[in-house]
Structure 1
Amino acid sequence: MKASQKPLALGQQDQIRRRPLKLITAIALSAVGAIALNAAHAQSTSSSIFGRAPADSTITVHSDNGATRHGSPNNKGRYSFSSLIPGTYIVSLERNGQTLAKVQGVPLFASRASQVDFVCDNDQCTGTFGR
């Protein structure tokens, strides 16, 4: 011990030993809080509509709140619309500007997808809704 240092009292020695433990505890609690905060933001409030349709068609989704989106199936006949807000939708199959089939009342709930498939036989097209 240096001449200028005074010996520490017993209580002061315990405080010095506990500082690293307090620091580690504070860091651990902060990390847990950050994980919990990120988990709350990970919950989705949007949904999607997906399905099958003829590859040469256009699919239109129209919500009860006025939003409309258009898209085309890929070369395997699959389509998907993501990031849709919950509500009730009309899903239409179109070709050359004409509506060939329509499925009304498709419900979308937060974090859930709805499936709407279209099938065409000899220019007669039908759509079916399934979960």
Structure 2
Amino acid sequence: MKKLLTVTALLALSTTAFANFNDNGQNNGGFAGQVQQMTVAQALKAKDNSYVSIEGTIAKRLGDDDYLFQDNTGTIKAEIDDDVWRNQTVNPTDKVRIYGEIDNERFEKTTIDVKQLQKLN
């Protein structure tokens, strides 16, 4: 019985301690590294796993999460997951900025794995 009371008391005290926990130093942001603003032509030559930012338009959907992204220097396949859209509706005339990671597969064309999409107009 004493063990049960001791365990109950410890649980009650620890719950109170956690309720007062406040982590003011917590950072809820995302990627904080340097992101290079570039063109599609530059992105096609970028190193694998480089983070880039490109402005242009989404010309068309290629299937599933794959889209054709373009600017005045060329086109690149962009992989855009459903959660990246954040309930934004984008059509081929809308200018957007995409942030993402370059994916250079050995026997495939260079793609960008989009982490964030921002509609500019």
The TM-score normalised by the length of structure 1 is 0.24
TM-score, L = length of structure 2: 0.25
